[in-house]
Amino acid sequence: MNVLALIGAPALMLARTVRVSAREGLPWRECLRQLHELGVRSTWLVMSGMAFFGAVMVTIADSQARKLTGNLPVVGPPYFELMVREFGPVVSALLAAARGGASHAAELSTMSVNEQVEALEMSAGDPYVDLVAPRVVAGLVGVPLLCVLGTMAATLSAVAMATWAFGTDGTAFMDARHVDGWDVTAGLVKAVCCGIYIPLAAAVEGLSARGGAEAVGEATTRGVVAASLGCLLIDFVVALGFQALRV
């Protein structure tokens, strides 16, 4: 999977989806259904996964603090900044990509293999409006919300771990002295871009599936891989952009 295909195919699909949806309108009922599928059904995975991630981060921080300062709460404010700007949005998006990307790719590839997409086109429907657009809207709304919930879960687990496991001031891991508007903006930009990209990457692989059950499995795997790699690429590009602005 080359970088051009990773970026180009979803970008072309997004352009066509926006153009057709602006002309024909969005199926809002389907948008809400997809938001439930992506957002609500991924909430437990994202929050539990981020809670464990936050606990692991504090365990590592304690090990490093013992070597350098001997005082775990000292690393609390930098931890919170890193969680808001980097790990919160990116790891939450990866967890959402693992579940949502697989779901989208499997559903669309099954429709494609069973010729349901062709039947939709013969019924005067448009796959970009009826299938792709609702998933993009769901990702645009759902993934940033999941990232906020994931960041909160990781922060609260860090507080609990520092307080109960290491006997220190856990509230230091909620200290926002190093967090400013640019940190929050960077995190939100990453979350929004990942939210748009995940369903697009899954849709590209799902709608291109041809064959039988094996093609569905391959498309699902490719969809998850593309969505996950895309999230990491977005993280890298956005981080470079904010670094170039020196924020």
Q: What is the pLDDT of residue 72?
A: 84
Q: How far apart are CA 145 and CA 173, in angstroms?
A: 21
Total domains in the fold of the chain? 1
Asked whether 227 and 197 are in contact (CB, 8 A), the reply is: yes
Q: What is the pLDDT of residue 51?
A: 96
Q: What is the 3-state secondary structure (H, E, C) of the chain?
A: CCHHHHHHHHHHHHHHHHHHHHHHCCCHHHHHHHHHHHCHHHHHHHHHHHHHHHHHHHHHHHHHHHHHCCCHHHHHHHHHHHHHHHHHHHHHHHHHHHHHHHHHHHHHHHHHHCCHHHHHHHCCCCHHHHHHHHHHHHHHHHHHHHHHHHHHHHHHHHHHHHHHHCCCCHHHHHCCCCCCHHHHHHHHHHHHHHHHHHHHHHHHHHHCCCCCHHHHHHHHHHHHHHHHHHHHHHHHHHHHHHHHCCC
Mean pLDDT, the chain, rounded, equals 91
Mean pLDDT of 7-11: 89
Is the pLDDT at 69 greater than 60? The verdict is yes
Q: What is the pLDDT of residue 137?
A: 97
Q: What is the pLDDT of residue 149?
A: 97
Q: What is the pLDDT of residue 194?
A: 97
Mean pLDDT of 142-154: 96
Is the pLDDT at 202 greater than 90? The verdict is yes
Angle at 127 (CA atoms; ends 33, 41), nearest 5 degrees: 25
Kindly report, residue by residue over 151-197, the tens digit of the pLDDT. 999 999 999 999 998 888 888 889 888 899 999 999 999 999 999 99
Asked whether 190 and 234 are in contact (CB, 8 A), the reply is: yes
Q: What is the CA radius of gyration of the chain?
A: 20
Q: What is the pLDDT of residue 184?
A: 94
- Quick one: which of 229, 240, 166 has its CA closest to 3? 229
Range of the domain at 75: 3-244
Q: What is the pLDDT of residue 247?
A: 55
**Which residue type occupies 35?**
L
**Nearest 10 degrees: Cα torsion 154, 159, 161, 167:** 170
Is the pLDDT at 68 greater than 80? The verdict is no
Read off the pTM.
0.91
Q: What is the pLDDT of residue 70?
A: 72
Mean pLDDT of 57-80: 85
Angle at 64 (CA atoms; ends 62, 82), nearest 5 degrees: 80
